[in-house]
A = this chain, B = another copy of it.
Amino acid sequence: MSEISERELGEIYDFAVQLGKDAGNLLMNFAKARWGDKGSGEQLFSEKDNAVDIVTKADEDVEAFVKSSIQKKYSTHKFIGEETYSKGASRDYLIGDEPTWCVDPLDGTVNYTHLFPMFCVSIAFIVHGKATVGVIYAPFLNQLFTACKGRGAWLNETQQLPLIRNPIPPMPARAPGGCIFSCEWGKDRRDKPDGNMHRKVESFINMAAEAGGRDGKGGMVHGIRSLGSATLDFAYVAMGAFDIWWEGGCWEWDVSAGIAILQEAGGLITTANPPQDHQTAEITNVRLGSRLYLAIRPAGPSDTETGRQTQERVVREVWKRVRELDYSRSGA
């Protein structure tokens, strides 16, 4: 397999950014058609279609548009889209060594159904299993997040991420105190005593409670946020707005673009589930597809630590407070 040159990568990046804008605008046309705006969206569906039909159609049409655009331009590249794969049975690791596009045409589907603005399109280009280009566009927020390995991560193509960068602050000394903790309740709501929902909630309470509370596990985070979009959670960690994001159950299309952007911005992404020796275990970059993610925002050095050391300190503080989640590659 031939390597991709820097010039080719630049072309791919430009193409992905334009594709993200076009796909996001298409999503927005479907949304506007629902609220009855006069405009191009109006003839997108019939009077009989209900909200679920419309969202399904938006999802499928945007994926078809993105897929055909990519296949026209890069016919030899592999394509993985949420709509294509979620209908299939195989749930093995999806990303191999070959140049691959991984696309979620609509992340934050529940938000989109309700027209809450936290929805987006997510497009990643992956080389040798590494997310190399990432584009996230939230059209209702007018927020475009982009990155290409070696070229920085950007908000709306003009503002480099993280936003505060002269200098980039270290993680707080008393973290998770002082941090914004981002998490999602998710779809697994089974009321089983030790099920994922109760494990998550127990972890949320530990992060939230006053320092000293919860038998010493109280994290007294500065705030807890739940947006309903794993992809935008990543984007706001890259921005530096969220300090910590912890989640289980995501698929490759939920996270690939976010990983590309957050890593390029200087963030750390490892596993959500605490290893047994969580205070000493090596902290490795997560494998794309593991379904379990803990992300820490970009951080600069403190007086006594490197930026990476401040991030790793926070990883261990989170691992101390969270429960192991049960999401495997097959099912769930």
Chain A positions near chain B (C-beta within 8 angstroms): 34-37, 110-111, 113-117, 141-143, 159, 163-166, 180, 185, 189-191, 197, 201, 204-205, 208-210, 212-214, 218, 220, 222-228, 236, 239-243
A110-B223, A114-B240, A141-B142 known; 12 new pairs, CB 8 Å cut-off, are A110-B222, A111-B223, A115-B163, A115-B241, A142-B142, A189-B209, A189-B210, A190-B213, A191-B210, A191-B214, A197-B209, A225-B226
Q: Are A165 and B225 in contact (CB under 8 A)?
A: no
Q: Are B241 and A213 in contact (CB under 8 A)?
A: no
Instruction: Knowing A114-B180, A141-B117, say if A34 contacts B164 (CB, 8 Å).
Output: yes
For A141, list chain B residues within 8 Å (CB).
117, 141-142
Q: Are B110 and A35 in contact (CB under 8 A)?
A: no
- Specify which of B114, B142, B218 is in contact with A189 (CB 8 Å cutoff): B218
Q: Are A227 and B225 in contact (CB under 8 A)?
A: yes
Given the complex of chains A and B, what is the CA–CA distance between A205 and B198 in angstroms? Answer: 9
Instruction: Knowing A201-B201, A224-B185, say if A35 contacts B163 (CB, 8 Å).
Output: yes
How many identical chains are in the complex? 2
SS class, residues of chain A in contact with chain B: loop
A141 CB, min distance to chain B CBs, angstroms = 6
